């Protein structure tokens, strides 16, 4: 089981003065195979929650469990994609995607075969020998996704993976991500600033708010899959957008979002 449980999660940062409690009482459950997005105002702690789920940040109270295992450090059960794909510039695309498998000691033939498979899956077949600087921002994010998938993690943690892309590429990437996710439905936790993106991708949206922040509302997105342009244009989609905008920016902002 690759469900994720956040149980009374608290995240504090210690500096020179008093510790700063960024997140407190964050409770949530992401079901096995579910696609959950997290939204909230800038600085509310979305990335902190994701870093803690990856095991890179130790909670000051509470715990995170993947299945029945308490998260204490990064592990092969989790694949991570950040806003900046953080590729190694001196490595080819193939070698970047194969990197995690190399770290796991997978033999060369197997890891290159697997890397090629995932490069093809993200639509970059033919670019295996290119270097990251020869690719567009969207292509680099595709490489980041292929790299995260190559080790076959149970859980994908994604922090604004399309945040640096233009609006059109961003929409395209969201559709592509859902196509890939649909192949084996990994458990996904996806942080975004984008209201449309949050609704389009998710089975459920976790809305963060408060100070220190926590989950203030969980919205079940009852829209059909596969999600496509027709779903995006539907009245139901518009209602979810308006509701989310109201929650995040107040009633006036919600009214300004066209459905
Ligand atoms: N290393 C750190 N040291 C001290 N404070 C930090 C550190 N990292 C984050 N913070 C603070 O913790 C809070 C949450 O930050 P975090 O980056 O998790 O928010 P976020 O919701 O992901 O923000 P954004 O949407 O702008 O990316 C912020 O107030 C931030 O200033």
- Give the tens place of pLDDT for each residue, 199-231: 999 999 999 999 999 999 999 999 999 999 999
Cβ 42 under 6 angstroms from ligand 1? yes
Distance 205 CA to ligand 1 centre (A): 20
Count CB atoms within 10 A of the CB of residue 237. Answer: 19
- With CA atoms as reference, report the closest residue to 157 among 65, 245, 51: 51
**Residue-wise pLDDT tens digits, 147-193:** 999 999 999 999 999 888 888 888 988 998 999 999 999 999 999 99
pLDDT in the model for residue 113: 96
CA distance 223 to 200: 9
CATH topology of domain 4-77+154-256: Rossmann fold (3.40.50)
Confidence grade of residue 46 (pLDDT, cut at 50, 70, 90): very high
Pocket test for ligand 1, best of 11, 12, 17, 22 (most atoms within 8 A of CB): 22
Q: What ranges do the domains of the chain cover?
A: 4-77+154-256, 87-152
Q: Which two tokens stand for residue 63?
A: 């715990």
pLDDT in the model for residue 85: 78
Q: Which two tokens stand for residue 247?
A: 């929650």
Cβ 13 under 6 angstroms from ligand 1? yes
- Strands laid side by side in the 155-159 sheet: 78-81, 155-159, 187-191, 35-39, 204-209, 214-220
pLDDT in the model for residue 259: 45
Q: Is the pLDDT of residue 255 over 90?
A: no
Pocket test for ligand 1, best of 40, 44, 84 (most atoms within 8 A of CB): 44
Task: Give the Å distances, CA to CA, from 255 to 24, 147, 238.
Answer: 31, 40, 11
Q: Is the pLDDT of residue 124 over 50?
A: yes
CA distance 72 to 134: 37
pLDDT-above-70 percentage for the chain: 96
pLDDT in the model for residue 249: 87
Q: Which two tokens stand for residue 200?
A: 């389009």
Q: Which two tokens stand for residue 235?
A: 């009245």
Q: Quick check: 190 and 201 in contact, CB under 8 A?
A: yes
Confidence grade of residue 7 (pLDDT, cut at 50, 70, 90): very high
Distance 193 CA to ligand 1 centre (A): 14
């Amino acid at each position: 089981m690759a469900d994720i449980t956040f149980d009374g999660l608290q995240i504090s940062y210690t500096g020179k003065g008093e510790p700063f409690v960024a997140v407190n009482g964050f409770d949530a459950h992401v079901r096995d195979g579910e696609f959950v997005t997290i939204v909230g105002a800038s600085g509310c702690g979305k990335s902190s929650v994701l870093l803690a789920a990856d095991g890179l940040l130790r909670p000051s109270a509470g715990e995170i469990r993947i299945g029945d295992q308490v998260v204490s450090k990064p592990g092969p059960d989790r694949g991570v994609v950040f806003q900046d794909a953080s590729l190694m510039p001196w490595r080819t695309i193939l070698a970047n995607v194969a990197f995690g498998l190399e770290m796991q000691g997978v033999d060369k033939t197997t890891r290159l075969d697997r890397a090629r498979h995932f490069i093809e899956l993200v639509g970059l077949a033919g670019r295996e020998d290119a270097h990251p600087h020869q690719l567009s921002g969207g292509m680099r994010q595709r490489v980041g996704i292929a790299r995260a998938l190559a080790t076959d993690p149970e859980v994908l943690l994604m922090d604004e993976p399309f945040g640096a892309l233009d609006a059109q590429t961003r929409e395209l990437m969201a559709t592509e991500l859902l196509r890939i996710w649909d192949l084996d439905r990994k458990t996904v936790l996806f942080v975004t600033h984008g209201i449309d993106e949050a609704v389009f991708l998710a089975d459920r949206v976790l809305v963060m708010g408060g100070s220190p922040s926590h989950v203030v509302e969980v919205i079940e997105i009852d829209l059909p899959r596969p999600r496509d342009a027709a779903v995006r244009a539907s009245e139901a989609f518009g209602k979810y957008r308006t509701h989310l905008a109201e929650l995040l920016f107040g009633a006036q902002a919600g009214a300004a979002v066209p459905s």
